[in-house]
Structures are given as structure tokens and as C-alpha cells.
Chains A and B, each alone.
Chain A
């Protein structure tokens, strides 16, 4: 019997849990600060209205539609939407390949958060009091170097095993008993932890008495003071569109899978919008008020530019622990910080595992528990290159193909398929089946013309700016090129294997139909 969600709130929390991740708290504030501050919110909200929300509705609707044909993943869903085309199901493979590839490295990064939650309470990194020593602690933990903090990769590997097992256990218990139960527990906890940290941040004032101007109000100003000249640059608009794309978890394939467990009469319009608003609250209200204002108040205007440019990981794993060391009850707040990021991570990673598990279940008639074992063993083996090849750029390469290339391409394909092949009249009717809200008619025009064109423009710009240089390995050091090529070969094998799986499954099904006839 096909799985279903236990409640409307459950599916909303699960989709919001999939969307709320590290990017909400670490990527958004850096993007906003570097691209016009408050003025960044203009292209950000325009992208949300024209790209993010329509794509969210497209995925919810297509997913629920495909679920009606007993399909939970993109190959089957795409095939249900365009039956006359024999090849569309192979395009759907991207919707399993992408999340699976992200899962391979994301679980490892997530395990660092679990480890740091533990370290913050045990005082393991308390001796690291400078940026250099905190970076050394992180590098030692990741196994990049042997130093006074870590001599082996052992501790990191143990935390990875715990994290991986936790993820598999959640998926093992299914949609209602595993993912929904986790999301309903983890999402309120996460928001609660973030609110506690937010209150602490807003009451910090000026923590350094010798620099009264290094205060939270000026820290918020660093992030929010508008620089309208940034709006004249295409880079700002692309950064805003990219942030919306990545933050909502659209274009991955996970929302399609989650929505496939809805019933035909379940609403998608209000549910999708509620998941978006939860994600935006976590990103703009919470994410925009924690790291940058705190870093400004402790390191001042001179260093904040360099900190913002140093990237999300540095901000999360180096700058933030250093700051927490300087405030009363620091270990407790550091624990809350890493625990909230871990919860954000785990609700995202289980959603990344589900499409591949659902594919095995649906297309090969395998029971859920067996499918989880099968996926678990394959994913565990595939995680190893990410763990042991971190120094050689394996994670960056996986992130490029799974976390960037697949997303933009898949989002474009599904938007065109929905509006142009499935047909806008049918699509409009399908969106409104069981809907608790009626969409303004302008969205008929937006979904048909604006969203696909917006996506094609992003795809074009992104291919020219990032895609081609990465494809040609322009930024890869010469000594890492053989490893990167090996990763590409591995990814090609995964993709080919999934295509073969689709071919076998459809062949098996057509033979069964012929036999019955």
C-alpha cells in the first residue's frame, strides 16, 4: 500500500525542513552583505515571486499528479505528464541523480555539525582562541593535516557513521513514521534555538567597551544599509535569483517526491506557500540577524569584509565558535548554534535520500525497508571519496554537478514541461484541485512565460560564468585534476546506472502489461 502523509502540517514541516538548511543561516547573510545590503532584497523578493514560488507550486503540483499514477520520482512523474514522449523519463533521472549526489557530501558536512555540537559542550576547541588556531582545529578534524588537535580522521569518521545511521533510520521508518515525525519535532526545535540565539544577539549591545561603535545596530546596518548602485550590476540580480533557487530546495527533485505522497484532493497552493514563508522566516528574519551582526560586533568594521568574503564554512566553523568563546554561557550558545544547524541539515538530508529510495520502491516493487538497505549500502560506499578526498576537491566537484548544475537544468526542464507540454490550462486546473487558495490570474502568465524565461536566462548566464570554467577545470590545481576526473567518471557511472534502472523498470512494466493482455 502506498505511503501517505499523516497531516497537512506534517508535509509542510517536511518541505520546510528540506528547504531550511545551512544556506539560510550562512549563505544568505553573506550574499546580502556583498550585493547591496538592504537593496539586495529588491531582486531577492522579485526572484521569490517570479521564480521561487511558481517553481515551488509547479513541483508540488507535478509531484501530486505523478503520485496519482503510483510514481514518486521524476522519471515516472515526467512520463505521466508527457506519455507520448519515450525519452522524457530519462530527463527525470536528473531528479534522482541530483539529490543522491548532494546526499553523498552533505551527510559528511552535517556530521561536522554534530561533532561541533558535542565539542562545544565538551570544550574540545576551547584552547583554540585565535582565527589561525580555530582553522587548524577544523583542518585537523577534517583530516586535512595532522596537528596538536587531531592526529587521525577517526573522530570525524565516527561522527559521520552516527549521522549516516541516523539519516538511514529516519528514512527506514517511512514518510509518516520517519520523515514527518522528525520534521514535526526538529523544525520547532530549530526555530526555538535560533530565536534564543537571536534574542542573545539583539541584547549584546557593544560587547567591546573600547569600541562602542562595534555594536549590533551597526552590525545590522552592515547587512541592511542599502547600496542602490549594486542594483545596476547583473551580478546582484543573479546572486539574488541563485539564492532563491538554492534556499527553497526547488529544482532538486525532493519536493516532487514529497508531494507525490499527497492525496489527489490535498491542497498544494497554500501548503507550498506556507513552506516558503517558513523558509523565508528562517532565512531573512533569523539568518539575516545572527552571523553578520555578531561578527561585526566582535571583529569590527575592519575585519568584517574579510570575514564575509571568507565563505560560509569559515563563518560557521571558525568565526562563530570564536565569538561564542567571548560571551557568558558561550559553550551553551555554541551548542545551540551547531545543534540548530545540525537539525537544519538532517531535515534536508533525509529529503535528499528519499527520491532514490522511492525510485527503488516504486519502479522495482521492492519493499521500503529493503530499498533503504540497498540505497544505504550504495550511498555509504559513494560517501567514501567525499570523506577521504576532501583535500583534493572532491566535495567541490560533487557540489558543482549535484548541487548546482543539476538544479538549474532540472528546474528549467520541469518548468517548460509543466507550462508548455502538460499545458497551461490543464496545469492551472491541476494546481487548483483541492486548493485552499485561488491564485491571482497573473500567475498563469508568470508560470507560462516569466518563470521559464527567467530560468533560461539564469542557465545561460550561469553556464557562461561558472559552468564552462568549472567544466574545463580552470580553477582546479594540476595535482587534483586526476581525482576530479575520477569523480566525474563516478558520477557518469551513477547517472548511467540510473538511466539503466529506468530502462529496465519500464521494460519490465511493458512486459507485464503485454502478458496481462
Chain B
């Protein structure tokens, strides 16, 4: 995989995981 591939993979994964962590933390905190 070239560096461009790594950039797209890491940025995509990073954005999705960050969004997921942000959302679930707020949902679960609210629940408590």
C-alpha cells in the first residue's frame, strides 16, 4: 500500500472511530 492509501485509511478510520467514541460516550453518560 502506498502512502496515499495509508493516509486515506487512517484518516477514514480515525474520523469514524472518533465520532463513534464521542457519540457513545455521550449516550452512555446520559443514560447514567
CB distance from B13 to the nearest CB of A (A): 5
CB-CB < 8 A to B8: which residues of A?
Answer: 37-39, 41, 224, 226
Q: What separation, in Å, do the CA atoms of A436 and B8 have in the docked complex?
A: 31
Which one of A221, A270, A437 lies within 8 Å of B5 (CB-CB)? A221
Q: What separation, in Å, do the CA atoms of A238 and B20 have in the docked complex?
A: 26
Q: Given A225-B4, A270-B27, do A277 and B20 touch, yes or no (CB 8 Å)?
A: yes
**Does A12 belong to the interface (CB within 8 Å)?**
yes
**Does A220 belong to the interface (CB within 8 Å)?**
yes
Q: Mark A204-227, 1 if CB is under 8 A from B, else 0.
A: 000000000000011011011110
Q: Which residue of B lies closest to A219 (CB)?
A: B1
Q: Which residue of B lies closest to A12 (CB)?
A: B27
Contact of A9 with B7 in the complex, beta carbons under 8 Å: no
Contact of B19 with A225 in the complex, beta carbons under 8 Å: no
Q: What separation, in Å, do the CA atoms of A436 and B13 have in the docked complex?
A: 25
Q: Given A221-B5, A224-B9, A226-B4, do A285 and B17 touch, yes or no (CB 8 Å)?
A: yes
Q: What separation, in Å, do the CA atoms of A52 and B17 have in the docked complex?
A: 18
Q: Mark A279-311, 1 if CB is under 8 A from B, else 0.
A: 011001100100000000000000000000000
Q: How large is the interface on B (under 10, 10 to 19, 20 to 34, 35 or more residues)?
A: 20 to 34
Q: What separation, in Å, do the CA atoms of A224 and B7 have in the docked complex?
A: 9
Q: Given A37-B5, A38-B5, do A273 and B19 touch, yes or no (CB 8 Å)?
A: yes
Q: Which residue of A lies closest to B1 (CB)?
A: A221
Q: Given A8-B31, A38-B4, A284-B16, do A277 and B23 touch, yes or no (CB 8 Å)?
A: yes
CB-CB < 8 A to A273: which residues of B?
Answer: 19, 23
Contact of B27 with A274 in the complex, beta carbons under 8 Å: yes
Which one of A37, A223, A280, A436 lies within 8 Å of B19 (CB-CB)? A280
CB-CB < 8 A to A31: which residues of B?
Answer: none
CB-CB < 8 A to A437: which residues of B?
Answer: 26
CB-CB < 8 A to B17: which residues of A?
Answer: 281, 285
Interface residues of A in 1-43 (CB under 8 A from B): 7-9, 12, 37-39, 41
Q: What separation, in Å, do the CA atoms of A274 and B4 have in the docked complex?
A: 29
Contact of B1 with A280 in the complex, beta carbons under 8 Å: no
Identify 4 new A-B residue pairs, CB closer than 8 A, beyond the known A7-B31, A280-B19.
A224-B5, A267-B30, A284-B12, A285-B13
Query: Contact residues of B with A, CB < 8 Å?
Result: 1-2, 4-9, 11-13, 15-17, 19-20, 23-24, 26-28, 30-31
A-B pairs with beta carbons under 8 Å apart, 11 shown: A7-B31, A9-B27, A38-B9, A217-B1, A270-B27, A271-B27, A274-B23, A274-B24, A277-B19, A285-B17, A288-B9
- The 9 A-B residue pairs with the shortest CB-CB distance, nearest first, are A38-B8, A221-B1, A224-B5, A274-B23, A225-B5, A277-B20, A277-B19, A226-B4, A224-B9
